[in-house]
């Protein structure tokens, strides 16, 4: 319990310290790559998990701050959001084409889109469908319409406008596998701001079962 509390406070400290950052933090540990090379490197990753802290801020409302855990297995995923104050625990699972949401270990809804489930259950939402790509530092797949991108000198995506969202990347971190992943992401649209501070990235080589919420 003590370690978990330290983890929360450590992430929250980082979260607030970087609250005003807009440009990527400089580093000499990054190699220069083209945006196309970086896209090809991460777009093919289908098995991964990450954890950190998320803040959801609606205009005129108090921010919601939670620990997040995200496990992806190809087309399936499991997302867990746990309020740092212990107010709620949300789990969203996508498997076999359906999406289910649990709130405090109770199955609440089943639907086709995670965004609609969150909006109906919590009164706020996050762009989970697009974030599966954005969290890796690449634009989401798009069949039509335009999106706008901005890259730094290392080929990292640092600015993106897509599907009505403005996305800013304030920091990247190199993993043990030599892949640069985003560490701080801020997503905004009128009336809503979502920020992720990512503590840990793990690339998965073997299948790990995603158990339903208990």
pTM for the full predicted model: 0.83
pLDDT band at 66 (very low <50, low <70, confident <90, very high): very high
Pick the closest to residue 49 from 82, 78, 81 (CA basis): 78
Give the highest mean pLDDT range of 87-91, 141-145, 157-161: 157-161
Domain extents in the chain:
2-18+32-198
Mean pLDDT score, 48-67: 96
Tell me if the domain spanning 2-18+32-198 has CATH number 3.30.420.10: no
pLDDT band at 27 (very low <50, low <70, confident <90, very high): low
Mean pLDDT score, 35-55: 95
Interatomic CA distance for residues 187 and 3, integer angstroms: 30
Interatomic CA distance for residues 13 and 143, integer angstroms: 39
> Which tokens is 153 given?
């000198």
Percent of the chain surpassing pLDDT 70:
83
Predicted pLDDT of residue 194: 97
Distance from chain centroid for Cα 32: 24
């Amino acid at each position: 319990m003590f370690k978990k509390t330290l983890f929360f406070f450590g992430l929250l400290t980082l979260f607030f310290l970087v609250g005003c950052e807009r440009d990527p933090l400089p580093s000499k540990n990054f190699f220069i790559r083209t945006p196309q090379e970086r896209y090809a490197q991460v777009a093919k990753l289908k098995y991964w998990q990450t954890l950190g802290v998320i803040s959801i801020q609606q205009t005129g409302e108090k921010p919601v701050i939670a620990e997040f855990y995200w496990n992806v297995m190809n087309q399936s995923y499991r997302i867990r959001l746990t309020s740092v104050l212990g107010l709620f625990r949300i789990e969203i699972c996508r498997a076999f084409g359906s999406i289910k949401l649990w709130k405090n270990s109770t199955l609440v809804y089943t639907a086709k889109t995670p965004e609609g489930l969150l909006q109906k259950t919590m009164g706020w939402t996050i762009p989970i469908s697009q974030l599966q790509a954005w969290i890796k530092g690449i634009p989401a797949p798009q069949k039509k319409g335009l999106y706008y991108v901005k890259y730094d000198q290392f080929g990292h995506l640092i600015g993106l406008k897509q599907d009505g969202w403005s996305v800013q990347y304030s920091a990247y971190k190199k993993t043990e596998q030599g892949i640069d992943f985003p560490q701080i992401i801020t997503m905004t649209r009128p009336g809503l701001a979502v920020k992720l501070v990512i503590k840990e990235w793990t690339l998965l080589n073997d299948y790990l079962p995603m158990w339903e919420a208990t």
